[in-house]
Structure 1
Amino acid sequence: MPGYDVRVAVTVLVRPLDLFDIPSLGRYRRSVLALDSAAALTRGNLLAAGRLLAYLDPRHRLYTAVMEAGDVTCLGQIACRRGERVGRLVFVAPGGEVEQAAALYEHLAARAGQWHLPYLLAEVEEHCPLFQTLRLGGFATYAWQRIWTLPSGTPRAALTRSWQVLRGIHLPEAQSLYAQIVPPLLQPVEPWPQTGRGLVCRAETVSAWARVVAGPRGVWVQPLIHPDSDCAPEHLLALAWTLAPGGRRPVYLCVRSYQAWLEPLLEDLGALAGPRQAVMVKRLAVTQKVEQALPKMEKAWVKPAAPGAAYHFQGLNRHKQ
């Protein structure tokens, strides 16, 4: 009615994805908002039933939730990759309802906390409505990034041999490179170089390390390259050839803002730039109360030198006189 503010209470229910939800997933396939670039670019369909139900396997840290609020239904997923100590928001769907799904994000963050993860990470395009929603929900922007698609080409054979699997002998130099390049604020959420994970470009010393996520749809690479390195830019094409010979799969390069000097070099190579994304992080660590017994108090004795005691004794003396 005109002049009246009529509000209807809506019950919000957030629950784990169940088998009976599978038949209805098809309607969300074209409206998925990916928040994990590596998963989206390497795996393709994030709503595949096998991936959504992988949380039934205790070996996988993957969880999908459904939020129902009146006529609005949203899906969301978090994951934790093997060997990492940070949770990742993988996707939400449908993308048009992301501003109304605050309860869903809180539920997913709580589940990540149950996994004893200290941080939850999301990659959001800067003009996406979800950017502001996550900020209000406790996420902060730690860095910016852009995803580049590397061109396919045949590099010189000598360059392809410059990249090697990270081995134990390379580990101290790779970790030193990591400590020099990655800002201290991001080091708790950026994976640390580990033996057998990623590739290194080495001449006399390790001057580049590339973290690699490969899947059936493509290869996602995040390089850490020293500005004085001899491993750029032609070596990046060699890296793409090493990971996907003959260009059988696209190779994507994730360039964080602390490596922005690589972007002009990638443009010269003919790489295609994607939109700028915010790397948003929510701290999940909760301060825990520690019970500690108070020290036993000593008995207090009245000292004759105290002003009150002096007055008391003087009074007694006057009384006796």
Structure 2
Amino acid sequence: MIRPFQLRDLALVHRLSELGISLHTESALTKNVYPIRGALTSLVGGDFPTYVWKAAKRSEMGFIQLHLERESHHGHILYLSTSPEPETNESNDTDEQENGRSTSSPSEAETSAWLPLLDQAVVETGQRGLHSLVAEVDEVGKELPLLRRAGFVVYTRQDIWVLQESDLKKNGKILTPRRAVDDWDVQLLYANTVPRLVQLVEPTPPIYDGEGWVLREENELTAFVHIHDGPAATWMRLYIHPNAEAQIDDIVQSALQVKPPTSSHPIYCCVRRYQSWVQNGLERMGFCLWGSQAVMVKHTVSHLPKPAPEMARVVDGQRVTPTTPFVPHYDKPHTNGKARHKKA
């Protein structure tokens, strides 16, 4: 059974929040996601719909929380959690771990909980008019096969790099703050650097959210750096034209001067695989690889309203007026009682 979150589920969501996984990396690393807060907001609407699932005859349960912005065409799975499966043997304690994530295969209990929750998430996304639902999962985690079974496909992959402290010497800042006259060039840079297939699910750079910095060479915009500062960390995205590859070190170093990282407030940089050459510059600047992920997407079908029956009857009852006049063919009149014949 699956239903929207209610007040009686408060203790359940609070308990399972410590056992789940965030499928939106930026929120997990920079905002300290609290599912209980979003669940309470969902009671009066908002952008964080939450659904609770309980097995019919067993004790398994779980919940899923989405982030569906009205002005966006794409939704994200923010958090998903299920009750732990009772241990049946000692092998459960020796599952292989990588980057703090279990690489074991999904259990039967997890499968029975994830699939209905994911199906309901897609339905909710489609009913709100959004075109797709996005989930970011570890490349070797057990969540990837579960999402595949639910109909999600991998559109691209990404690497997350982290820098906690920077001891680089300050140099001349080559980046300048984004201005309104740069907006069109930023969109053009996005169109020229992001593959067309990925553009279907990756939104354009959020120029009005956070800070934007640009690099111009000979009056052409060759780099755009977007920086979003959260309460726990800073999130950075780089959009760099291949012609500016030689300046990657200066671009990154200039961006670090805008938001210097600290041990308590690190900076994370998300690099999609289609710009993997950027990672070499990050490594030279002291960044360390935090993890590699698959960006999985499932498209939804938007709800179309039915046409009004009254209007349909009016349209069906109307006759189509011809636009070209019809000229009938008439025989020429007889001459002296005889028909005129063409000469052979």
- Structures share fold, TM-score greater than 0.5: yes
Aligned-residue CA RMSD in angstroms? 2.8
Question: Does 1:30 find its partner at 2:18?
Answer: yes
Question: Does 1:149 find its partner at 2:135?
Answer: no
d(CA) in 2 for partners of 1:248 and 1:275? 19
Q: Select between 97-106 and 34-43 the one with higher mean Cα deviation.
A: 97-106
1:51 maps to what in 2?
38
Task: Give 1:221 shift.
Answer: 1.7
CA distance change for structure 1 residues 23 and 184 in 2, over 3 Å: closer, same or farther? same
Task: Give 1:44 shift.
Answer: 1.4
d(CA) in 2 for partners of 1:194 and 1:27? 34
2:181 maps to what in 1?
169
d(CA) in 2 for partners of 1:66 and 1:122? 19
> Which of residues 198, 201, 226 is equivalent to 1:186?
198
Query: SS of 2:253's equivalent?
Result: helix
CA distance change for structure 1 residues 151 and 206 in 2, over 3 Å: closer, same or farther? farther
1:237-293 deviation digits (Å, cap 9, x = unpaired): 332341356666211001111111112222222211122211001010359699997
* Structure 2 unaligned spans of 5+: 85-108, 320-344
Q: Select between 20-29 and 119-128 the one with higher mean Cα deviation.
A: 20-29
Normalised by the length of structure 1, the TM-score is 0.78
Query: SS of 2:166's equivalent?
Result: coil
Task: Give 1:228 shift.
Answer: 2.1
Query: SS of 1:233's equivalent?
Result: helix
2:285 maps to what in 1?
269
Question: Does 1:203 find its partner at 2:202?
Answer: no
Task: Give 1:78 shift.
Answer: 0.8
Tell me the amino acid that sits aligned with residue 278 of structure 2. L
Question: Does 1:260 find its partner at 2:273?
Answer: no
CA distance change for structure 1 residues 118 and 45 in 2, over 3 Å: closer, same or farther? closer
Query: SS of 1:186's equivalent?
Result: helix
CA distance change for structure 1 residues 248 and 79 in 2, over 3 Å: closer, same or farther? same
CA distance change for structure 1 residues 273 and 192 in 2, over 3 Å: closer, same or farther? same
* Structure 1 unaligned spans of 5+: 1-12, 297-321
Query: SS of 1:274's equivalent?
Result: strand
d(CA) in 2 for partners of 1:108 and 1:203? 42
1:130-186 deviation digits (Å, cap 9, x = unpaired): 21121121111000011100242255555446241x322001211111011101011
d(CA) in 1 for partners of 2:110 and 2:284? 37
d(CA) in 2 for partners of 1:55 and 1:119? 20
Question: Does 1:91 find its partner at 2:79?
Answer: yes
Tell me the amino acid that sits aligned with residue 277 of structure 2. W
d(CA) in 1 for partners of 2:72 and 2:176? 23
Tell me the amino acid that sits aligned with residue 189 of structure 1. V
Tell me the amino acid that sits aligned with residue 279 of structure 1. V
d(CA) in 1 for partners of 2:231 and 2:206? 24
CA distance change for structure 1 residues 274 and 154 in 2, over 3 Å: closer, same or farther? closer
Query: SS of 1:128's equivalent?
Result: coil
> Does the CA-based 8 Å contact 1:98-1:129 persist in structure 2?
no
1:249 maps to what in 2?
265
d(CA) in 2 for partners of 1:119 and 1:175? 21
d(CA) in 2 for partners of 1:81 and 1:241? 31
Tell me the amino acid that sits aligned with residue 76 of structure 1. I
1:119 maps to what in 2?
132
d(CA) in 1 for partners of 2:41 and 2:251? 37
2:30 maps to what in 1?
42
Tell me the amino acid that sits aligned with residue 213 of structure 2. V
> Does the CA-based 8 Å contact 1:76-1:93 persist in structure 2?
yes
Aligned 1:59-70 pairs, distance under 5 A: 60-69=46-55, 70=58
d(CA) in 2 for partners of 1:185 and 1:106? 24
